[in-house]
């Protein structure tokens, strides 16, 4: 038993550790964006980044099914030892990502007008947010293509390729941030240009890895298979639930950001600071969820129940432990990190007022992140969608009830949202397990 547990721990961290480094690098990039803009003379630059980034979260993270769906389908193909399907999943996903990216560019003016109509912020915030949007939207094909590559690498249990790709992109992005914003004084537009250049560089690196490490090219997949419309419909049908789930998640965070903007530039900037630290925690916990995605996908479809139970138990243990570490870390070092991200005294003071919510967040949020990985690995996409819908309704009710409490009420509603996600997903997971037990007895 001890030996089996050791193997489980080692197997999980062989995937989780590279993804942990990937996860840390992404919010660190966001912190660099925040820090270089947060040390400019005006708070509205931070607000512009917050509004602009939230819009792209809707546009790009809304297409997160390209990553999550590719991971789940690839892990399933690996579990079934279907080498041909593994190739098709990659190139079909890339083709779809490029088409969607181009459509986002074509309709960018309409998307911008619609999105900014909901942003109740100052004139200065909106002006710089719109400049940010107009530049960064051109990265859409590269960003979505990279989602497919990351999902495909991860689904095969090759997280070191994700690490190489994401680290290269983020390091380049940070360097360009410093050049464009600090040296060339391009403010929030410089952040957008840095992201645009880094994303296309990342796509090129990913395609080179596919060619050199896996020795694959588009010629390895017959065009009749690649453009099989019935297969495309199945692919889209499977991932539609992930898309709807992600849109609902982003709607919750979008309401949080836009409602915070109504409380003024200082509160909006303070929320940006705190959400950077929240995002850091989320990405680290996601590394363990990614391990669950891959291993649950593999053992669930192999029907290897003993290994599946072991992986669920060990990955759940580690998720809770890491969440506790973050709560302690925020408690002890939170004020120091706020000072790193901005030197605007009013913003620092406001961030400290709402900081207790961030300390509580890891303990409440951990379950939703872990269950995301379990559900994706087991292809419980419909259930993910349904639990997110219930949780979003609970969030909207809580938000309205807590409006009189201002930004404190907004943070409380956000944590209620995360708690509802964990509880509803736990209920579904328990129901699935009980159903499996009853079927086995029959």
Tell me the CA end-to-end span of the chain in Å, nearest whole number: 29
What count of Cα atoms within 13 Å lies in the side-chain half-sphere of residue 73? 29
Structure-model confidence comparison of residues 45 and 278, the more confident one: 278
Structure-model confidence comparison of residues 400 and 338, the more confident one: 400
What is the arithmetic mean of pLDDT over 229-233?
75
Tens of pLDDT, residue by residue over 246-287, are: 889 888 988 898 888 888 888 988 898 898 788 888 888 888
* Per-residue pLDDT, 1: 46
* Per-residue pLDDT, 154: 84
For the ranges 125-139, 381-395, 406-420, the lowest mean pLDDT is seen at 125-139
What is the arithmetic mean of pLDDT over 314-332?
91
What is the arithmetic mean of pLDDT over 415-440?
77
Number of domains in the chain: 1
Enclosing domain of residue 377: 2-441
- The DSSP secondary structure of 323-357, one letter per residue, reads HHHHHHHHHHHHHHHHHHH---HHHHHHHHHTHHH
412 pLDDT band, cuts 50/70/90, is: very high
Tens of pLDDT, residue by residue over 60-80, are: 777 877 887 788 788 778 877
Whether 1 and 310 have beta carbons less than 8 Å apart is answered as no
Highest mean pLDDT among 152-156, 197-201, 222-226, 336-340: 197-201
Distance CA 194, CA 53 (A): 14
In degrees, to the nearest 5, what angle opens at C-alpha 55 toward C-alphas 175 and 367?
A: 90
Q: What is the pTM of this model?
A: 0.72
What count of Cα atoms within 13 Å lies in the side-chain half-sphere of residue 54? 29
Residue pointed to by tokens 């914003």: 181
83 pLDDT band, cuts 50/70/90, is: confident
Picking from 413, 419, 411, the residue whose alpha carbon sits closest to that of residue 366 is 419
For the ranges 127-131, 165-169, 398-402, the lowest mean pLDDT is seen at 127-131
Picking from 143, 156, 205, 166, the residue whose alpha carbon sits closest to that of residue 23 is 166
Structure tokens at 385: 């969608």
418 pLDDT band, cuts 50/70/90, is: very high
Residue 438 has pLDDT above 50, yes or no: no
Structure tokens at 130: 């719109």
Tens of pLDDT, residue by residue over 142-176, are: 999 998 998 899 888 888 888 888 888 888 988 99
For the ranges 45-49, 77-81, 208-212, the lowest mean pLDDT is seen at 45-49
Taking residue 360's Cβ as centre, other Cβ atoms within 10 Å add up to: 14
* Per-residue pLDDT, 439: 38
Distance CA 112, CA 129 (A): 10
Highest mean pLDDT among 248-257, 355-364, 430-439: 355-364
Distance CA 363, CA 367 (A): 8
* Per-residue pLDDT, 22: 66
For the ranges 48-52, 125-129, 261-265, 333-337, the lowest mean pLDDT is seen at 48-52
Residue 307 has pLDDT above 80, yes or no: no
What is the arithmetic mean of pLDDT over 77-100?
85
């Amino acid at each position: 038993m001890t030996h089996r547990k050791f193997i489980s721990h080692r197997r999980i961290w062989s995937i989780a550790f590279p993804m942990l480094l990937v996860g840390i690098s992404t919010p660190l990039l966001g912190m660099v964006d925040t820090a270089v803009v947060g040390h400019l003379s005006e708070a509205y630059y931070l607000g512009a980044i917050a509004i602009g980034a939230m819009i792209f979260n809707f546009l790009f993270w809304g297409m997160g099914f390209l990553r999550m769906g590719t991971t789940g389908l690839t892990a399933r193909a690996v579990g079934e030892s279907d080498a041909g399907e593994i190739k098709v999943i990659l190139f079909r996903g890339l083709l779809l990502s490029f088409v969607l990216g181009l459509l986002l560019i074509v309709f960018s003016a309409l998307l911008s007008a619609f999105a900014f109509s909901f942003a109740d912020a100052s004139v200065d915030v909106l002006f710089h947010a719109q400049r940010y949007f107009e530049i960064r939207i051109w990265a859409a094909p590269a960003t979505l293509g990279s989602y497919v590559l990351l999902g495909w690498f991860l689904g095969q249990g090759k997280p070191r390729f994700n690490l190489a790709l994401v680290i290269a992109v983020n390091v380049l992005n940070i360097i360009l941030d410093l050049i464009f914003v600090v040296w060339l004084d391009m403010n929030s537009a410089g952040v957008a240009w840095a992201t645009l250049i880094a994303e296309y560089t990342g796509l090129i690196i990913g395609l080179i890895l596919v060619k050199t490490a896996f020795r694959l090219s588009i010629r390895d997949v017959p065009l009749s298979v690649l453009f099989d419309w019935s297969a495309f419909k199945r692919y889209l049908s499977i991932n539609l639930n992930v898309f709807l789930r992600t849109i609902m998640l982003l709607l919750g965070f979008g309401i949080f950001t836009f409602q915070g903007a109504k409380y003024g530039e200082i509160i909006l900037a303070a929320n940006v600071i705190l959400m950077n630290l929240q995002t850091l925690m989320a990405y680290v916990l996601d590394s363990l969820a990614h391990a669950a995605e891959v291993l649950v996908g593999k053992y669930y479809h192999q029907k290897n129940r003993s290994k599946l139970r072991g992986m669920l138990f060990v990955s759940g243990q580690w998720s809770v432990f890491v969440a506790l570490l973050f709560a302690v870390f925020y408690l002890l070092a939170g004020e120091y990190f706020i000072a790193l991200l901005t030197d605007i005294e009013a913003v620092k003071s406001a961030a400290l007022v709402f900081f207790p919510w961030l300390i509580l967040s890891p303990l409440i949020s951990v379950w939703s992140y872990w269950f995301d990985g379990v559900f994706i690995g087991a292809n419980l996409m419909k259930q993910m969608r349904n639990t997110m819908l219930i949780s979003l309704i609970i969030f909207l009710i809580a938000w309205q009830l807590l409006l009189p409490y201002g930004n404190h009420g907004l943070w409380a509603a956000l944590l209620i949202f995360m708690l509802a996600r964990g509880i509803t997903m736990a209920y579904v997971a328990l129901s699935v397990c009980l159903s499996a037990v009853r079927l086995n007895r029959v």
